[in-house]
Structure 1
Amino acid sequence: MNWTVRLIEMRDVPVLLDWYNNEELHYIANAKKFKLYTLEQLIDYWTEKLSRPNSSYYVIEVSGEIVGRVGLKKKNREKGVVTEYSILIGVPTMYSKGLGTEITKHFVKEVFLDPEPSSVILEVRADNLRAISCYKKVGFQITSEFVENEVKIYAMEIAREGE
């Protein structure tokens, strides 16, 4: 599949609004309580989010259409620096086509071009079997589990080779 990624720009926020206001999509990817956003609220949210240091956010495009987004956040942990990864495919016709796996492989490689992070981490709902399968194909392993808002969540990690 032909896809590209680029940094999110504020002009992309209206596309994201549909995903944020899709309750079914929300509960596939999130344990937080669902809330509707106005465009103004989402613009404020992304204005703040894009100003965060050590974070970068991308849109995924297929044939010129925005179909998803990715987030990378560098974090200092007791064992050193890690990068937290998140991905959302917001267009259901793109599900189960391998796109998430390709994008995740791409970003794991990109993260490890930086010598600082020792691993890439993420959190995923335990009932999101499609996402868990994607992450396992890339090499992530479940490292722990916890409950957030009565939803079981897995923490997953992939370490830099040799670590």
Structure 2
Amino acid sequence: MNWSIRELVIEDVPALLEWYNNEELHNTANAKEFKSYTLKQLNEYWKGKLARPNAKYFTIIVDEQVVGRVGLKQQKNKDIFEYSILIGVQKLYSKGLGTEVTKYFVEKVFLDPNISSVYLEVRADNRRAIRCYEKVGFQISKTFEENKVTMYGMDIKRIG
């Protein structure tokens, strides 16, 4: 599958609105309580996220359409990045896109020799996402509860 990425900009937010208001998608990917957004609310939310000095966000593009987003956030322990991905277009599920994009970003992060690991959190019942992360090399490092949802912390360590 041909895909590309670019930094997410505030003008991309309207493309994200449908995903944020999709309760089924939310409950597959998130332990937080579902809430719907107006475009104005989502713009304000993303203005805050895009202003974070320790985080970068990217869009995933297929056939000139924004189909997902990726987040990379450097943790307080500066040698660890937290990774997140959301593919919002259902017809692209289970096609390998998440695995390819995740592999790309892990390799990109590890170009910095000072980074020791990449960490993510995933719902324990999101088997499709867990398979994707395991294919890239992530391993479950902890189990915890968030809002009565069992979650896994997964990480991949720098080799060598």
TM-score for both structures, normalised by structure 1: 0.96
For residues 48 and 142 of structure 1, what CA distance do their matches in structure 2 show? 30
1:123 aligns with 121
Residue 81 of structure 1 and its aligned partner are, at CA, apart by 1.8
2:9 aligns with 9
Identity in percent: 62
For residues 70 and 115 of structure 1, what CA distance do their matches in structure 2 show? 22
Task: Kindly report which structure 2 residues correspond to 1:54-133, keeping only aligned pairs within 5 A, or say none.
Answer: 54-77=54-77, 81-133=79-131
DSSP-derived class of the 2:115 partner: coil
The AA in structure 2 aligned to 1:33 is E
Task: Report the number of matched residues.
Answer: 160
Task: Kindly report which structure 2 residues correspond to 1:9-48, keeping only aligned pairs within 5 A, or say none.
Answer: 9-48=9-48
The AA in structure 2 aligned to 1:83 is F
The AA in structure 1 aligned to 2:110 is F
Which blocks of at least 5 consecutive residues in structure 1 are unaligned? none
Give a deviation string over 1:95-134, Cα, whole Å, max 9, x none. 0000000000000000011122210000000000000000
1:148 aligns with 146
DSSP-derived class of the 2:75 partner: strand
DSSP-derived class of the 1:19 partner: helix
The AA in structure 2 aligned to 1:125 is R
DSSP-derived class of the 1:113 partner: coil
TM-score for both structures, normalised by structure 2: 0.98
Residue 76 of structure 1 and its aligned partner are, at CA, apart by 2.4
Give a deviation string over 1:20-58, Cα, whole Å, max 9, x none. 000000000000000011111111111110010121000
Structure 1's consecutive aligned runs of 4 or more residues displaced over 3 angstroms after TM superposition are none
The AA in structure 1 aligned to 2:143 is E
